[in-house]
């Protein structure tokens, strides 16, 4: 046995060998494993770990939520926090904010930083990023995802995954697939066309696997065409593992497995979270009774399932181990350092979206001696807690109020809550014990005494808000905020609203305020990032990663009635097909409240001399769209040049235009530069259900070049031969 252990240890001293060498080592280890040991590797041993093989020195795998930072340590057998004093971390902005940066380089920095923190905490798998498509603004988990457009999400997920994994930590891309609502998420059966599946809901997952090289994928809770996504023949075996060549590990969402035979045969590798009380309730819920535990072992021993099935799972798990905890060359990681805080602050600064700015309300001069009334619970409420599995234990969270006080030292700042939402409680809604009338009266009084009102409203991480486990119950602002805004406008006309949310909201009050920012959930450096932009230290350059409809029925998922959203509790049909977000607004000619890609600046930009490198291209060619970008204003800033493509006279129904390229450019005031954006011709294909494959039509295409989906500066025509 000692010789075997020494031999195994020797194999780990040569990480980063070729895949062929790795596979040879895995074969040698597999030959040493008993059937029981191989089965044990396929299911949890605690809330966030799965077993290794102690007798051979093979370490267990440790996992952690989540995409915005490493979650506090959880108890071995229950969902309580372990109470460690050394598990406070840097909280990074939510992925909606990252998407709003339209900046792949920042996404890489984000991935590297969160990967370093996961590595320092000795995690092998980081459960993120999330790339489910923003289909409805009521989805409680939209804040964890990268917006409504598959090209944007695909472009940003790749550097994130690569950044995490350069630390020897596996990114676990989730939730695969079609987990686009929280209501009935554990059982709702989604019916969607193949075309919408391949064109809208799968591209970001495919990019994460094939371009990002993701080492693990998490299955979704819901069903797709009658099978749960955590053991789904089409999604896992056919598409993920066969078509895309995924060689990593498929992990269930916690409790996402439902059947031993399907879990064995339909693509699942590691089962986590089943019987969520673990060992603390009864042996019925013990880890050895998971679907891929003793029941799986019994099926193999009886011959109902061949041993080759568990061999394949063990092979994938060992491959993941060689990439993570059996790789001696992975770096040690870092946590809570200044560089990580700067990444969080930079992402926040570039992700904040200036939506409205009448009379140049923003920026506010930080040196001016004025009275600022900061109104709203969200000015002081901690937003790293709550929200479900993405909840974080931040070492420090700078509130918006604190950030403003630190930057606006010459101003007199008064704060009033104005409204109250109640404490965060996962799985249930707890009303506030504070008197709403008293809060409102104090806020109106403060506003009447101020030169400027900054209203910090929106949503929070409570149940039925931006939170896992339940969808929003209303499209408008909750907790009496709309009534409060109306009263504030009666006593002060200088109101700027900063929305803290991961979702669009209705805005019947929009005409009563001078300015509006989308502030997202910004993590540890929230207050500093917001103060940077409000003061003008940072020029806002964020762009909306999803459309804000004027009313809920303007959203495609809601247009088609309850069977489209939320379903009938059993089935749900995505009746809008490929027409998600701005695609729907375009084809229906419905003006959004704020369009996908929209975002204002404190300076101005001009796009000119827009052209392509040639007029026609082969099917495997690449068009280079170029333009001159000039900062024509009085401040340094950044603009995002966006290229959409449409196909007139198509043989199939298509969107008017679809995002196919973008480039963010930072320019000093008065400066100009030339920007080039490549457009791959094969990315203009549609998914042809008649051949179960992609088809690129010949003929004319229109390139729409602009700075938002509703702000197209010029159209160009090209031809695909």
CA distance 599 to 421: 29
CA distance 482 to 486: 6
Residue 246 has pLDDT above 80, yes or no: yes
- Helices 436-448 and 481-491: crossing angle, nearest 10°? 30
- Give yes or no for a contact between 91 and 69, defined as CB atoms under 8 angstroms apart: yes
Query: Could you give the 3-state DSSP secondary structure of residue 190?
Result: strand
253 flagged as catalytic: yes
In a domain, 101, yes or no: yes
Structure-token pair, residue 15: 């990480």
Give the mean pLDDT of 479-496.
Answer: 98
Give the mean pLDDT of 384-390.
Answer: 95
DSSP class of 411? S
Give the mean pLDDT of 679-683.
Answer: 97
Cβ contacts of 644 within 8 Å, gap of 6 or more = 657, 658, 659, 660, 703, 704, 705, 706, 709, 712
Query: Could you give the 3-state DSSP secondary structure of residue 454?
Result: strand
Residue 588 has pLDDT above 50, yes or no: yes
Which CATH number covers residue 716?
Answer: 2.60.40.10
Give the mean pLDDT of 418-442.
Answer: 94
In a domain, 157, yes or no: yes
Mark which of 535, 555, 588 sits at the end of a domain: 588
Among 65, 124, 149, 253, the active-site one is 253
In a domain, 600, yes or no: no
Which CATH number covers residue 398?
Answer: 3.40.50.1700
pLDDT of res. 574: 98
In a domain, 613, yes or no: yes
- Confidence tier at 11 by pLDDT (50, 70, 90): very low
In a domain, 8, yes or no: no
**Pair (356, 303) in one structural domain:** no
**Pair (639, 523) in one structural domain:** no
Give the mean pLDDT of 206-226.
Answer: 98
**Pair (401, 541) in one structural domain:** yes
pLDDT of res. 454: 98
**Pair (642, 672) in one structural domain:** yes
Q: Is the dihedral of CA 277, 280, 282, 288 positive or negative?
A: positive
Work out the number of other CB atoms within 10 angstroms of the CB of residue 283: 8
Residue 14 has pLDDT above 50, yes or no: no
User: What does R_g of the chain's alpha carbons equal in angstroms?
Assistant: 26
- Give yes or no for a contact between 394 and 88, defined as CB atoms under 8 angstroms apart: yes
Residue 279 has pLDDT above 60, yes or no: no
Give the number of C-alpha atoms closer than 13 A to the C-alpha of residue 435, restricted to the C-beta side.
4
**pLDDT, tens digit, 9 for 90 and up, residues 292-320:** 999 999 999 999 999 999 999 999 999 99
Structure-token pair, residue 228: 């749960």
**Pair (183, 209) in one structural domain:** yes
In a domain, 99, yes or no: yes
Residues β-bridged to residue 496: 454, 515
In a domain, 400, yes or no: yes
pLDDT of res. 426: 85
**Pair (498, 639) in one structural domain:** no
Cβ contacts of 298 within 8 Å, gap of 6 or more = none
Write out the residue range of the structural domain in which residue 52 sits. Answer: 36-69+87-323
Mark which of 588, 618, 634 sits at the end of a domain: 588
Structure-token pair, residue 130: 């999330």
Residue 2 has pLDDT above 80, yes or no: no
Residue 647 has pLDDT above 60, yes or no: yes
User: Where is pLDDT greater, at 4 or 221?
Assistant: 221
The total of structural domains in the chain comes to 3
- Give yes or no for a contact between 117 and 70, defined as CB atoms under 8 angstroms apart: yes
**Pair (611, 494) in one structural domain:** no
For tokens 């800033």, name the residue.
Answer: 637
Cβ contacts of 188 within 8 Å, gap of 6 or more = 181, 222, 223, 566, 567, 569, 570, 571, 572
Mark which of 323, 340, 369 sits at the end of a domain: 323
Query: Could you give the 3-state DSSP secondary structure of residue 381?
Result: coil
Strand 686-688 and strand 616-617: pairing?
A: unpaired
% of the chain surpassing 70 pLDDT = 96
pLDDT of res. 283: 64
**pLDDT, tens digit, 9 for 90 and up, residues 120-133:** 999 999 999 999 99
Residue 17 has pLDDT above 90, yes or no: no
% of the chain surpassing 90 pLDDT = 94
Cβ contacts of 416 within 8 Å, gap of 6 or more = 373, 374, 375, 439, 442, 443, 445, 446, 447
**Pair (398, 318) in one structural domain:** no
CA distance 414 to 399: 15
CA distance 310 to 313: 5
CA distance 159 to 109: 8
**Pair (416, 507) in one structural domain:** yes
**Pair (420, 302) in one structural domain:** no
In a domain, 6, yes or no: no
pLDDT of res. 242: 98
Mean per-residue pLDDT over the chain, rounded? 95
Give the number of C-alpha atoms closer than 13 A to the C-alpha of residue 130, restricted to the C-beta side.
28
Give the mean pLDDT of 393-413.
Answer: 98
**pLDDT, tens digit, 9 for 90 and up, residues 497-524:** 999 999 999 999 999 999 999 999 999 9
**Pair (236, 175) in one structural domain:** yes
pLDDT of res. 10: 45
**Pair (638, 571) in one structural domain:** no
Which CATH number covers residue 285?
Answer: 3.20.20.300
């Amino acid at each position: 046995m000692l010789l075997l252990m020494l031999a195994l240890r020797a194999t780990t001293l040569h990480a980063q060998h070729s895949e062929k060498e790795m596979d040879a080592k895995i074969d040698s280890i597999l030959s040493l494993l008993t059937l029981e040991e191989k089965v044990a590797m396929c299911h949890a041993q605690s809330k966030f770990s799965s077993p290794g093989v102690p007798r051979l020195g093979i370490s267990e795998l440790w996992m952690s939520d989540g995409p915005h930072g490493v979650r506090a340590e959880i108890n071995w057998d229950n969902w309580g926090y372990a109470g460690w004093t050394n598990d406070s971390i840097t909280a990074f902005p939510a992925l909606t904010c990252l998407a709003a940066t339209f900046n792949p380089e920042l996404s890489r920095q984000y991935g590297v930083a969160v990967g370093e923190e996961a590595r320092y905490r000795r995690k092998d798998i980081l459960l993120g990023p999330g790339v489910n498509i923003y289909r409805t603004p009521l989805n409680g988990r939209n804040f964890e995802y990268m917006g409504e457009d598959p090209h944007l999400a695909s472009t940003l997920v790749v550097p994130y995954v690569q950044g995490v994994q350069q630390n020897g930590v596996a990114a676990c891309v989730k939730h695969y697939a079609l987990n686009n609502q929280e209501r009935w998420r554990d059982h709702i059966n989604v019916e969607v066309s193949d075309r919408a599946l391949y064109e809208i809901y799968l591209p970001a997952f495919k990019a994460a696997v094939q371009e990002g090289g993701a080492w693990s994928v998490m299955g979704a809770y819901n069903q797709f065409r009658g099978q749960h996504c955590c053991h789904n023949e089409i999604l896992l075996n056919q598409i993920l593992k066969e078509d895309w060549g995924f060689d990593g590990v498929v992990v269930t969402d916690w409790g996402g497995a439902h059947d031993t035979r399907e879990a064995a045969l339909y693509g699942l590798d590691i089962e986590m979270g089943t019987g969520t009380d673990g060992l603390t309730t009864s042996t019925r819920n013990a880890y050895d009774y998971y679907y891929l535990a003793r029941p799986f072992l019994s099926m193999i021993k009886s011959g109902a399932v061949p041993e080759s099935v568990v061999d394949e799972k063990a092979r994938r798990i060992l491959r993941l181990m060689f990439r993570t905890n059996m790789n001696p060359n992975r770096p040690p990681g870092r946590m809570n350092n200044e560089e990580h805080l700067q990444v969080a602050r930079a992402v926040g600064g570039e992700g904040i979206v200036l939506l409205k700015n009448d009379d140049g309300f923003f920026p506010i001069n930080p040196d001016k001696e004025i009275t600022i009334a900061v109104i709203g619970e969200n000015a002081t409420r901690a937003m790293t807690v709550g929200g479900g599995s993405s909840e974080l234990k931040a070492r420090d969270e700078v509130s918006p109020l604190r950030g403003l006080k630190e930057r606006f030292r010459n101003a007199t700042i008064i704060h009033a809550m104005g409204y109250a939402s109640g404490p965060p409680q996962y799985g249930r809604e707890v009303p506030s014990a504070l008197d709403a009338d008293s809060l409102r009266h104090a806020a109106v009084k403060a506003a009447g005494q101020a030169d400027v009102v900054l209203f910090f409203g929106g949503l929070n991480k409570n149940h039925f808000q931006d939170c896992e486990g339940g969808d929003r119950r209303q499209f408008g602002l909750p907790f009496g905020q709309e009534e409060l805004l109306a009263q504030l406008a009666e006593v002060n006309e200088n109101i700027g609203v900063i929305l803290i949310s991961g979702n669009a909201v209705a805005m019947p009050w929009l005409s009563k305020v001078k300015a509006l920012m989308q502030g997202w959930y910004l993590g540890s450096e929230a207050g500093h990032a917001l103060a940077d932009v409000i003061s003008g230290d940072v020029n806002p350059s964020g762009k909306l990663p999803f459309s804000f409809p004027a009313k809920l029925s303007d959203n495609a998922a809601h247009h088609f009635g309850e069977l489209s959203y939320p379903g009938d509790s059993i089935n749900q049909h995505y009746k809008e097909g490929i027409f998600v977000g701005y695609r729907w607004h375009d084809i229906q000619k419905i003006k959004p409240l704020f369009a996908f890609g929209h975002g204002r600046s404190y300076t101005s930009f001009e796009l000119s001399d827009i052209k392509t490198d040639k007029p026609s291209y082969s099917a495997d060619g690449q068009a280079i769209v170029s333009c001159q970008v000039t900062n024509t204003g009085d401040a340094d800033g950044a603009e995002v040049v966006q290229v959409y493509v449409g196909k007139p006279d198509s043989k199939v129904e298509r969107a008017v235009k679809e995002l196919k390229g973008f480039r963010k450019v930072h320019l000093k005031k008065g400066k100009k530069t030339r920007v080039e954006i490549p457009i791959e011709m094969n990315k203009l294909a549609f998914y042809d259900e008649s051949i179960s494959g992609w088809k690129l039509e010949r003929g004319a295409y229109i390139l729409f070049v602009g700075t938002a989906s509703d702000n197209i500066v010029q159209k160009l025509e090209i031809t695909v031969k």
